């Protein structure tokens, strides 16, 4: 990709960022006949899209709301659970976005977000499936769902009631497993748990970073161009945009910002004030014998730890850490996850010397930003997928591409419109 002859190339569209969202965007635009150049400072799928839990979450029709009950808020404030951690020094700068997040989580507003969000989520598998097929990535995919497990009977009973309601409202497949059925389904568990919800529709990925690489390879095979470059060099030129890359300056009529958690910096520089923040998360792999490996991802719901069987080992992922994106890692949740998971399964040695850290790109109203930039011609926003970027990348890329071509859209784009912030 360092072929200097490409310096003269004028693409029609530059996509900035080659995580799952950018790569899916590049593929969706390419399929509609556009000449696309995908630019990242790293290889595709090496950041947030590498380190997630690998679940294409068909069941995630309700994005994570800010807790509204005082008991829950106090529990988080006291850092009593392992699901949420925060840096005290980051709080003052996070307050405006968190206040909006809290307001957006009020019951009525949240319900309309659930309606909008579920309209996208319901397409997640259908939009991934053809890409998996064309990219030859079937070997990375399992179609056996994932397990939300509970240690206490009271928490399991409450979750089971909730699952029944949400499944009926959103046509989700699930099975309830009592303690014995769970032990049968997952013989690797060495502790008796109260029960679990087995979500049946989701697909899971045994190496999400590799999936993004395969999608990127498909994009290249079909004539797309991938270059190393710095999105921060984006500048208006004539009626279009220019970005500096390792192959020289690339010009294009249109540009899409798909920088995930890094979208905040570039959009701010362009004059936008969007309520973006990150929830950092960690993972670490452990060597586990075949018989001690869970057969599918398993969430220890009351402790906020997910055990995901991956090609690299058993990946333990953590919940949310509210901190500045670039503050040094504080993997306390990861350390606790290791301790708590060690009681569930026989964990071997850690594979990496340190936990990996990533940052979920979050928007205060829990809806990704998809559409034309309000104050710049030929600029598009596509970021803010929070906890479900792997799930939603191809589905929101289709929506972005339909908007790009001014076509009829397959879901209502209004809830995702960048103009909703008045920024």
Q: By the criterion CB under 6 A, which residues form the site for ligand FAD?
A: 17-22, 40-42, 46-49, 51-55, 57, 230-232, 259-262, 281, 283, 317, 358, 360-361, 383, 385-391
Beta partners for 226? 38
Kindly tell me which of 66 and 203 has the beta carbon lying closer to ligand FAD: 203
Shortest CB 70 distance to ligand FAD, Å: 28
The answer to whether the CB of 321 falls within 8 A of the CB of 83 is no
Q: Which helix (H) or strand (E) holds 279?
A: strand 276-286
Shortest CB 29 distance to ligand FAD, Å: 15
Nearest Cα residue to 103 out of 392, 409, 366, 402: 366
Shortest CB 355 distance to ligand FAD, Å: 10
Kindly tell me which of 194 and 305 has the beta carbon lying closer to ligand FAD: 305
d(Cα 103, Cα 66) in Å, to the nearest integer?
9
Kindly tell me which of 214 and 283 has the beta carbon lying closer to ligand FAD: 283
d(Cα 132, Cα 212) in Å, to the nearest integer?
10
* Strand-by-strand arrangement of the 203-205 sheet: 55-56, 203-205, 141-142
Kindly tell me which of 140 and 194 has the beta carbon lying closer to ligand FAD: 140
Shortest CB 125 distance to ligand FAD, Å: 12
Shortest CB 153 distance to ligand FAD, Å: 27
The answer to whether the CB of 210 falls within 8 A of the CB of 140 is yes
Kindly tell me which of 304 and 415 has the beta carbon lying closer to ligand FAD: 304
Shortest CB 393 distance to ligand FAD, Å: 6
Kindly tell me which of 46 and 134 has the beta carbon lying closer to ligand FAD: 46
The answer to whether the CB of 315 falls within 8 A of the CB of 351 is no
Q: How far is CA 389 from CA 5, 11, 42, 274, 367, in A?
A: 34, 26, 18, 18, 11
Kindly tell me which of 46 and 75 has the beta carbon lying closer to ligand FAD: 46
Q: How far is CA 90 from CA 68, 72, 87, 94, 154, in A?
A: 21, 20, 5, 6, 35
Q: How many residues does the chain have?
A: 423
Shortest CB 4 distance to ligand FAD, Å: 20
Q: What is the DSSP string of 336-367?
A: HHHHHHHTTS----BSSSS-EEEEEEEETTS-
Shortest CB 21 distance to ligand FAD, Å: 3
Kindly tell me which of 125 and 259 has the beta carbon lying closer to ligand FAD: 259
Sole residue written with tokens 């309606």: 115
Token output for 363 = 């928007």
d(Cα 137, Cα 54) in Å, to the nearest integer?
14
Kindly tell me which of 194 and 337 has the beta carbon lying closer to ligand FAD: 337
Kindly tell me which of 194 and 320 has the beta carbon lying closer to ligand FAD: 320
Instruction: Give the Cβ contact number of residue 275 at 10 Å.
Output: 20
Shortest CB 329 distance to ligand FAD, Å: 12
| Exposure string over 400-418, b if 16+ CB within 10 A, otherwise e | bbbbbeeeebebebebbbb
Kindly tell me which of 194 and 264 has the beta carbon lying closer to ligand FAD: 264
d(Cα 385, Cα 63) in Å, to the nearest integer?
10
d(Cα 382, Cα 22) in Å, to the nearest integer?
8
Shortest CB 16 distance to ligand FAD, Å: 6
Sole residue written with tokens 């939300």: 148
Shortest CB 352 distance to ligand FAD, Å: 14
Sole residue written with tokens 């992922």: 317
């Amino acid at each position: 990709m360092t072929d200097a002859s490409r310096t003269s190339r004028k693409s029609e569209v530059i996509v900035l960022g080659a995580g799952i969202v950018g790569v899916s965007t590049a593929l969706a635009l390419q399929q509609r006949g556009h000449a696309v150049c995908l630019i990242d400072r790293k290889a595709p799928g090496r950041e947030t899209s590498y380190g997630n839990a690998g679940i294409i979450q068909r069941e995630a029709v309700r994005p994570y709301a800010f807790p509204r009950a005082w008991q829950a808020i106090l529990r988080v404030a006291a850092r009593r659970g392992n699901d949420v951690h925060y840096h005290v020094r980051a709080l003052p700068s996070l307050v405006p976005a968190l206040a909006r997040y809290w307001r957006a989580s009020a019951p009525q507003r949240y319900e309309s977000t659930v309606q909008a969000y579920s309209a996208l989520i319901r397409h997640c598998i259908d939009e991934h499936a053809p890409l998996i097929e064309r990219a030859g990535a079937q070997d990375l995919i399992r179609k056996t769902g994932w397990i939300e497990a509970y240690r206490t009977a009271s928490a399991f009973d409450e979750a089971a009631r909730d699952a029944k309601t949400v499944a009926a409202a959103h046509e989700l497949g699930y099975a309830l497993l009592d303690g014995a059925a769970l032990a049968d389904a997952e013989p690797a568990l060495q502790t008796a748990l109260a029960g679990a919800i087995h979500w049946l529709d989701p697909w899971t990925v045994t190496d999400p970073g590799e999936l993004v690489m395969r999608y990127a390879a498909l994009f290249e095979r079909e004539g797309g161009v991938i270059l190393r470059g710095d999105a921060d060099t984006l500048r208006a030129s004539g009626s279009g945009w220019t970005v500096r890359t390792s192959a020289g300056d690339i010009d294009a009529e249109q540009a899409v910002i798909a920088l995930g958690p890094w979208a905040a910096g570039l959009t701010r520089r362009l004059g936008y004030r969007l309520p973006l923040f990150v929830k950092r998360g960690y993972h670490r792999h452990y060597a586990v014998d075949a018989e001690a490996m869970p057969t599918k991802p398993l969430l220890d719901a009351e402790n906020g730890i997910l055990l995901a069987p991956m090609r690299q080992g058993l990946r333990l992922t953590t919940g949310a850490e509210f901190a500045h994106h670039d503050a040094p890692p504080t993997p306390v949740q990861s350390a606790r996850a290791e301790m708590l998971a060690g009681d569930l399964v026989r964990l071997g040695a850690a594979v990496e010397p340190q936990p990996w850290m990533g940052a979920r790109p979050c928007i205060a109203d829990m809806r990704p930003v998809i559409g034309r930039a309000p104050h710049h011609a030929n600029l598009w926003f596509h970021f803010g997928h929070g906890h479900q970027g792997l799930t939603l990348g191809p589905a929101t890329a289709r929506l972005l591409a339909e908007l790009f071509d001014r076509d009829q859209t397959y879901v209502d784009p209004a809830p995702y419109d960048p103009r909703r912030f008045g920024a």
